[in-house]
Amino acid sequence: MPRRAREKNTYAVYHVISRSISEIMLFIDNADKVYYLNLLKRYLEKYRCSLYAYCLMSNHIHLHLDTRGFDISTFMHSVNTAYVRYFNKKYDRHGHLFQGRFGSRILYNDAYNLAVSAYIHNNPKDMAEYSGHEEDYEFSSYGIYLNTMPDYYGIIDKSFVVGLFNGMGHVNFAKSYHEFVKLRKGNVDMPYRSDTLAASNISAVSDKLEGPGTSDISDASVTSNISDTSNTSDKLNISDILLVENECEYISGRTVIIRENAAENVISYISEKLEIRHQTSLGLKTRRKLVKYRALVAYSLRVLCNLSYKNICNYLVNISISSCSRLCNKGYELVSNDIVHLKIFNELVQNAA
């Protein structure tokens, strides 16, 4: 039976879960967790995505991820594939590490984003050494929100969640957020329920959730509305769920980059800025200037047009998929280290925002 297509939305924020296969831990030691967080940093920067929360447990991970219009499958495949290569080489093993596809759920409004943020940060509660002070768990972003732990990896964007609390008139964000997460601890297995959200005592959050049809949804609705792996444990055992809406509605500010740009327009813009005739130059590999040009084109098509390596090859011509992947990485390095290429790319991003 073909698997169901993953639910995606250009303007969406996601709750993402990845779990290891049953017979092995996803992270054997803390160095593995550090490596995974560094991978997140690389791909968040490479694809211009934002991360609002994370928690790495021994056999699974939780991410509160804003792809800002980028394809979520491409992002997670990049991170998890790179981690599997590292893990298998380090522990001299072969084969699968993750349990099927990663699980993802679209969070359709601000209130449900807050619920998932608290759910993720409450995950360490069942670890004896962190029960009651979950913010001390070093592989969670909770401490970053409370200013008790630095963002060592520079990967957390707090502005989205902070904006929600500031919009409610909460001047002391860290204190308000800490109280909110503690109040949500008893609802850790049902982060999307409207009735448990209302119990948070944050009236502005509760008000957003008022309305009919949010508390009598069956377990079958949960299964049908979560783009997940075949493992039912990743579905969080939710008993009630908000009905899926047509559009994502967020009050707090966030910027989405339009990633469906016409490839021809992106190529023409780069060609004009670098003063290169792209009709005759994209297929040439030898000249140093043209290598940088091709690299920037490949990277820009990947990030701003959501194109696969195979589709990018159609524009670059005379190149294999593996070479295209390397060229995209070179383009990312150029944008990261060269001010001229960074300026051109940022202009493309601004035009797409």
Rounded to an integer, the average pLDDT of 242-255 is 57
Dihedrals phi, psi of 20, to nearest 5 degrees: -80, 165
Give the span between the Cα atoms of 115 and 266, in whole angstroms: 38
Give the span between the Cα atoms of 268 and 243, in whole angstroms: 43
Give the span between the Cα atoms of 218 and 240, in whole angstroms: 6
Reduce the DSSP state of residue 224 to 3 states and report it: helix
Give me the architecture of the 13-235 domain, per CATH.
2-Layer Sandwich (3.30)
Within 8 A by CB and 6+ apart from 330, the residues are 291, 292, 295, 298, 299
pLDDT at 132 over 50: yes
CB atoms within 10 A of CB 206: 16
Give the span between the Cα atoms of 259 and 165, in whole angstroms: 30
pLDDT band at 146 (very low <50, low <70, confident <90, very high): very high
Domain positions in the chain? 13-235, 263-352
Within 8 A by CB and 6+ apart from 23, the residues are none
Q: What is the pLDDT of residues 114-131, one digit of tens each?
A: 999 999 999 999 899 999
CATH code of the region 263-352: 1.10.1750.10
Name the helix (H) or strand (E) containing 42.
helix 30-46
Range 239-267 burial, b when 16+ CB lie within 10 A, else e: ebbbeeeeebebeeeeebbbbebebeebb
Give the span between the Cα atoms of 163 and 108, in whole angstroms: 17
pLDDT at 214 over 50: no
Reduce the DSSP state of residue 66 to 3 states and report it: strand
Averaged pLDDT of the chain: 82
Rounded to an integer, the average pLDDT of 290-308 is 94
Rounded to an integer, the average pLDDT of 32-53 is 98
Helices and strands per DSSP (H, E), number in the chain: 15, 4
- Does the global pTM surpass 0.85? no
DSSP secondary structure string, 157-205? Answer: --HHHHHHHHHTT-S-HHHHHHHHHHHTGGGTT-TT-HHHHHTTS-HHH
Q: Are 151 and 140 in contact (CB under 8 A)?
A: no
Q: Are 66 and 49 in contact (CB under 8 A)?
A: yes
Q: Which of 3-7, 185-189, 285-289 has the highest mean pLDDT?
A: 3-7
pLDDT of residue 6: 83
pLDDT of residue 15: 97
Q: Are 177 and 202 in contact (CB under 8 A)?
A: no
pLDDT at 291 over 80: yes
Closest CA to 148 of 159, 162, 137, 156: 137
CB atoms within 10 A of CB 24: 15
SS3 content of the chain, % helix, strand, coil (to 5): 50, 10, 40
Residue count (the chain): 353
Instruction: Please report where in the chains the tokens 């920067």 appear, as a residue.
Output: 45
CB atoms within 10 A of CB 59: 14
Residues of the chain above pLDDT 90, percent: 61
Q: Which of 79-93, 105-119, 205-219, 235-249 has the highest mean pLDDT?
A: 79-93
Q: Are 311 and 265 in contact (CB under 8 A)?
A: no
Q: What is the pLDDT of residues 5-28, one digit of tens each?
A: 788 888 899 999 999 998 899 999
pLDDT of residue 120: 96
pLDDT band at 109 (very low <50, low <70, confident <90, very high): confident
CB atoms within 10 A of CB 98: 20
